[in-house]
Amino acid sequence: MSGSRHQVLKLLSWNVNGLKSENKIKGVLAEIKDSHVVFLQETHIGPDDTGVLHELEGFRKYFTRYNGRSRGVAILIRETLVWEDVSHNEDTEGRSLILTCKLHGQLYTFVNVYNPREDIQLLDELELEHDLGVLVIGGDFNTALNPELDRTNTQYYALCKCVQRLRDRFELKDIWREIHPEKREYTYAQGASESRLDYFFMQKNSVSLVQCCEIRQTAISDHDPICLHLNSGGVYPLAPEIDPNDRIKSHVESIINQSKKDVSYDSKGWVSVHAAESLHTAAESLHTAAESLHTAAESLRTAAESLRTAEGSPSTAAESPCMEGGSLHTAAGNLCTAAGSLHMAAGSLCTAAGGLHTAAGSLCMEGGSLHTAAGSLRTAAGSLRMEGGSLHTAAGSLRTAAGSLESAHGSLCMEGRSLHMSAQSLHTATGGLCTAAGSLQKVCRLTAEISTLIGKLGITEESDN
C-alpha cells in the first residue's frame, strides 16, 4: 500500500520495556509503521547500544544515552516528511527528551517523558521555550491522574501532584480523558491491578486540532501504546509499503511466545515417557508372575494326579506319599516364587500409577495454560477489530484459534481424567494382586501341612508292615 494522507499527523507513545532483542524490535516496528511521530520510553539504550535503534528503519531517531538497565527515551520522526529547523535537548539521566521542529511552516514542540515513581522533581524541573507552537507532551508518567477512573487499585500516588503542577503551568489537557470522560481503559497491568499511566497532554488552545486519541492493546510490552491523530494543513506520505497484517503477526507471535513460556511441554513429555516405561516394566513383571503361576499350577496338578494314583495302587502307597511330598514341596516353592513375583509386579504397578498421576497433573496444568492463552487470543482479537477491513477478518481467525485452544484444553482435561481413572484402576488391580499373593501364601502353608501329613502317613504304613 502506498500513497499520502491529508491533514492528519499520527503520533504514538509507548513504554516498550527494552529494545535489546531482535523479536522485540520487529514487533515494535510493526506496531509503529503507520505513525509519523513516535515517543518511546524505557528503551534501555546505553552508550554502547546505539546501533539498536538503527534497525527501526524509516525514521530519523533522537534518543537519550543513559548508562543503566532502565530508563531511556527516544523520539522517532518519519523520514518521508519534510522536517525543518529540527533541534533537540536530552536529559542526561534518560528521563526526558525535547524536540522542536517545523512541518509545513507549523512549529511543533514534542516532549517525551519517562517519569520514574521515585523521581518527583523531574516535571518541576522541565524547562520549555516561550514560543512552543503546537505543544505535545507524551509518555509514561507512572501515576493515575484520576484514582477512581484510571486505576483498579485506588491507591493515590504523590507523583500525581507533580503531574498536576505541570498541567497547571502549561494549561495542559489530558487528551484521552477529554475524548473519553467516563471510560475505564488502562495502559498497564500488574497482577490484578490495572492503571492508565501513559498520556498525551496538549495545551487547551490546541485541543481543537485533535481528531482522535485511542489506547491500543498489544502483548509485546507490559504497557499498551497510546495513539494521537492531529488535524493539520500538511500532506503526509505513508510508509512506502505497509503490510496491514504485520501488526497481526506481531500480536500472534508475542502470544505464542508467552504461551511457550507458560506451558512446559518437555516436562509433560518426560512424565509421559517415564509413565510408559513404568507400565512396560509392570507388564513384564506380570508376565513373569503369570509364567511362575503356570509352572506352580502344573506342579500341583502333577502332585494331585500322583496322589490319586497312589490311592488306587496300595502296593506303591508306601513310596508314593514321600515322592508326592517332594513334589508338593517343589510346587510350594514355585508358588512362593510366584507370590514374590506378584509382589514385585504390585510394586511396579504402584510406581506406574504414580507416574500416571503425575502425567495427569501435567496435562491438567497444560490445559490451564492453554485456557490462559485462549483468553489472551480473545483479548488480541478484540483489539484487532479496531483496525477494520482485513484486520477484522484476522480477528475472526484468532477467535477461531481461541476456540480450538479451548477444545484442546477440554480434550487434555478429559485425557487427564482418563489417566487418573486408569491410575485408580491400576491401584485396584494392585490390591487384587496383593490379595492373590496372600492367598498363594496360604496355599503354600496348606501344601506344607499336606506334606507333613503325607510324611506321617508313610511312617504309619511302614510300622504296619
Beta bridge partners of 27: none
Catalytic residues: 114, 140, 223
Task: Provide the CB-side half-sphere exposure for 56 (13 A, CA).
Answer: 34
Q: What is the residue-wise DSSP string for 59-92?
A: EEEEE---SSSS--EEEEEETTS-EEEEEEEE-T
Whole-angstrom distance, CA of residue 440 vs CA of residue 357 = 30
Rg (C-alpha) for the chain, rounded Å, is: 40
- Binding positions are 15, 42, 140, 142, 222-223
CB atoms within 10 A of CB 61: 16
- Binding positions for Mg(2+) are 15, 42, 140, 142, 222-223
| Grid cell in block for residue 78 | 518519519
Give the residue from 205, 7, 212 showing the smallest Cα distance to 104. Answer: 7
Q: What φ, ψ does residue 186 adopt, rounded to 5°?
A: -125, 155
SS3 2: coil
Whole-angstrom distance, CA of residue 380 vs CA of residue 252 = 8
Q: What is the residue-wise DSSP string for 117-156?
A: TT--SHHHH----S--SEEEEEEE-SS-SSTTTSBSS-PP
Q: What φ, ψ does residue 307 adopt, rounded to 5°?
A: -65, -40
